[in-house]
Amino acid sequence: MKLRNLLFPLLVLTAFNSSAQIQTVKVSDGTTAYCKKDYDVYRRANMNGVYRAKAQNIKVTEDGKIEVEIAMAFLRCAATKSGYQFIAHSPLSPATTKAIQMNGALANINIETKDATPRVFKDGDYSLLQKSELADKSLQIQKVTLPLEKVLNSAQEQKLNETGKTNGNFDIFIHKNISIVNEMSQKQFNTTATLGAFRIHFSLEETANGTKAKLK
C-alpha cells in the first residue's frame, strides 16, 4: 500500500486497528508530511521522523493506575521502484539528507539519533508524567502507566467520586536528541527534534469489580 499523503502524525496503522470507533486524536499543529517527489525524500521534517500511533488496550490496575498500550509505526519517505512512498524506518536509524552550501555545492548531511523518548503529559499541566525509551524497530508497542490521581484533574476526580463515571485524557509525543554532521565541512552540532503529539481519550466507571476503563 502506498502512503502518498500521511497526516503527521496520523491515526493508526491498519495492522493495529482493532476498532474503527476507537480514535486517538492528534493535537499537533496539523502538519502534513508528503512523499511525492525527490525533494520530499530530503526534507528535514521527514528526516526527523514520521509516525502514526493508536491506543489499543486500556485497563485500571489493582493499585489504582491506568495502563494503556499504544501501537506506534515509524516511517520515512523514500524513492522506490514503485515511486516515492513512505516505508518502515526505525526511529533510531540514521538518515541522510542534502543541503546547498554557500558556494552552490551540494553537501551530504548525516542525521544520527542519539535517543528517542516518548513523553507523557497532561493537557494544561505540562509537567512530565512518564518518560520511556523507544526500541530500535519501526513497529512497536509503548506502555503508559499512570496513577489515576496524576492523570485526572480535580473536577474529573470529583465527578468519579460523586457519579461513579468520568472521562479523562493525556498527551504523548516523541522527543529526539540528534547529531547533525555536514560531510563537506565536517562540522557537527547537536540539537533536538519533537514529533507531533497525540491525545488519548478514555472513560472510567466504578463497578462492583472495581474501576473499569474504556478507550474513546
Round to whole Å and give the CA distance between 62 and 74. Answer: 33
- Give rounded-to-5 percent helix, strand, coil for the chain: 10, 60, 30
Length of the chain: 216
pLDDT string in tens for the chain (216-residue length):
444 444 434 444 444 444 433 333 444 445 567 788 888 887 766 677 788 888 999 999 999 999 999 999 888 888 889 888 888 899 999 988 888 888 888 888 899 999 999 999 987 778 899 999 999 999 999 999 999 999 999 999 999 999 999 999 999 999 999 999 999 989 999 999 888 888 899 999 999 999 999 999
Q: Quick check: 89 and 51 in contact, CB under 8 A? A: no
Strand bridging mode 125-131 / 139-147? unpaired
Radius of gyration of the chain (CA): 20
